[in-house]
Amino acid sequence: MVFFAKATSNAPTNALNANSRHPSGTLPAHNFHIVRTMTITINESLRAYIDPLTEDEYTALERSLLSEGCRDALVLWGDLLVDGHNRYGICQKHSIPFNTVQNKTFQSMDDVHLWMIDNHLGRRSVSDFQRGVLALRKKEIVSARLTEKQAQQALGTPADNDASAQSEKEPPWTRETIARAARMSSATLGQIEKIQKTAAPELVGAIKSGVISINAAAAVASLPSEEQIAAVAGGKKELRQAARQVREARLPPKPKVELDAPLEGASEEQVEIYRLTVLVAELTEERDQLKKKVQNLAIALSEARSEQ
C-alpha cells in the first residue's frame, strides 16, 4: 500500500479529499486520486542508534529517491519507524510516495536493536569502526539476555519463551565470534573496544571522518583526554606523531646483559668465549628491539598510505 505523510492530490489548485463534492452534490468528473494516510512515530534514540549518513551519502540518496522513487519499503513495528529514517525524511520533504511493511517478529526494543544491527552489519557501506561498534552492542544485548535467563533459572522463574528460544539460537559470544560477525580480526575488535572505553569524543569523530585509523586511534586513546583533544586539533600529522610516541613508549627498556665474569686465572680462550657470549646477548636484544621498531614503522607507513 502506498502512503503519503499527508493527503495529496494531483490537481494543482483544487485538490480534493474523499469527502469533497461538487456543488451539485456529485463527485467532480475531473481526474484526481485519493491516498491513505497513516501515523508514523519517530523515536529519536532509535534514529540515532545507527550513525547518520555523511553529507555525500545523504545527497546521493536524495538524488536516487527523486529520480527513481522510494523502491524499498520502510520497516515499521506498529507505528514505530524502525528502518528507513533517511528515506522517510526525504519522502516527506519532496512528497514522494512510499510503501511500508510490518515486522511482526519483534517482541521488545532489544529485538528491534538486534534486527537493526544485523541489517547494518550486512551492508558494504558500513565502515570497519561502525561494524565493530555494532557487533559489540549485539554482544551486550545477547549477554544481558543470557544473564537474565540464568538469573530466572536460579530463582525457578519461568523464562520468557521467545527470549529463551532466541538466546538458545545465539552462538557463544567470544571475541573471535564477534570479530567474525563484524568481518574483522579479533585484535582490531579489541582496539575498537578500547576506543569506546577511553577515547575522547573528538578522537571518535576523527575515526569516523577517516582522519585517523583504528590502530593509531587505539594508541592515542591511551593518552589523557586533554592530550587526545590537542592531537585531534593538530590534524593528521599530530595524530600520527602522538600514536608513534605512544608505541615507542611501550617498548621495553633495553635490558642490561649480566653474565658471570670468568674466574680469575681463566685461560685466554675462556675469556674470549665470555666476551663473545656477552656480545651475542647484546646483539640479540638489539635485534629484538629493532624488530619492534620496524613493526611500528610498517604500521605507521600503512596508515599514511591509506590516508592519502
Residue 260 domain-assigned? yes
For residue 8, the model assigns a pLDDT of 31
Residue of 161 and 22 predicted with greater confidence: 161
Give the end of a domain, one of 162, 189, 216. 189
Residues 284, 245, single domain; the answer is yes
Nearest to 54 by CA among 156, 127, 141: 127
- To the question of pTM greater than 0.75 for the whole model, the response is no
Residues 293, 233, single domain; the answer is yes
Residues 207, 180, single domain; the answer is no
| Full residue range of the structural domain in which residue 145 is found | 107-189
Nearest to 121 by CA among 183, 62, 166: 183
Residues 228, 265, single domain; the answer is yes
The residues near 17 (Cβ < 8 Å, ≥ 6 apart) are 7, 9, 34
Residues 181, 203, single domain; the answer is no
Residue 194 domain-assigned? no
For residue 306, the model assigns a pLDDT of 59
What average pLDDT does the segment 257-267 reach?
Answer: 61
Helices (H), the chain: 44-47, 55-68, 85-94, 109-121, 128-155, 161-169, 175-181, 186-198, 201-208, 214-220, 225-233, 235-250, 268-306
Residues 71, 129, single domain; the answer is no
For residue 123, the model assigns a pLDDT of 83
Residues 164, 264, single domain; the answer is no
> How many residues are listed for the chain in this entry?
308
pLDDT of residue 112 exceeding 70, the answer is yes
Q: Residue 296 — very low, low, confident or very high, per pLDDT cuts 50/70/90?
A: low
Residues 246, 304, single domain; the answer is yes
Residue of 275 and 129 predicted with greater confidence: 129
pLDDT of residue 271 exceeding 90, the answer is no
Q: At what angle do helices 161-169 and 128-155 cross, to 10 degrees?
A: 130
Mean pLDDT lowest among 11-25, 138-152, 191-205: 11-25
Residues 40, 119, single domain; the answer is no
For residue 60, the model assigns a pLDDT of 95
Average pLDDT, the chain: 78
Domain count, the chain: 3
Beta strands across the sheet bearing 2-4: 36-37, 2-4, 98-102, 74-77, 80-83
Residue 167 domain-assigned? yes
Residue of 114 and 10 predicted with greater confidence: 114
For residue 14, the model assigns a pLDDT of 31
Nearest to 10 by CA among 42, 46, 35, 28: 35
Give the end of a domain, one of 104, 126, 157. 104
The residues near 205 (Cβ < 8 Å, ≥ 6 apart) are 232
Give the end of a domain, one of 128, 160, 189. 189
Residues 94, 112, single domain; the answer is no
Residues 74, 124, single domain; the answer is no
Mean pLDDT lowest among 49-53, 60-64, 193-197, 284-288: 284-288
| Buried/exposed code over 186-211 (b: 16+ C-beta within 10 A; e: otherwise) | eebbebbbbbeebbbeebbebbbeeb
For residue 248, the model assigns a pLDDT of 80
Q: What is the pLDDT of residues 18-65, one digit of tens each?
A: 333 333 333 333 333 333 457 899 999 999 999 888 899 999 999 999
Q: How far is residue 102's CA from residue 120's CA, in Å, rounded to a whole number?
A: 18
For residue 4, the model assigns a pLDDT of 45
Nearest to 303 by CA among 243, 224, 221: 243
Residue 47 domain-assigned? yes
Mean pLDDT lowest among 25-39, 133-147, 228-242: 25-39
Q: What is the pLDDT of residues 87-104, one digit of tens each?
A: 999 999 999 999 999 999
Residues 10, 71, single domain; the answer is yes
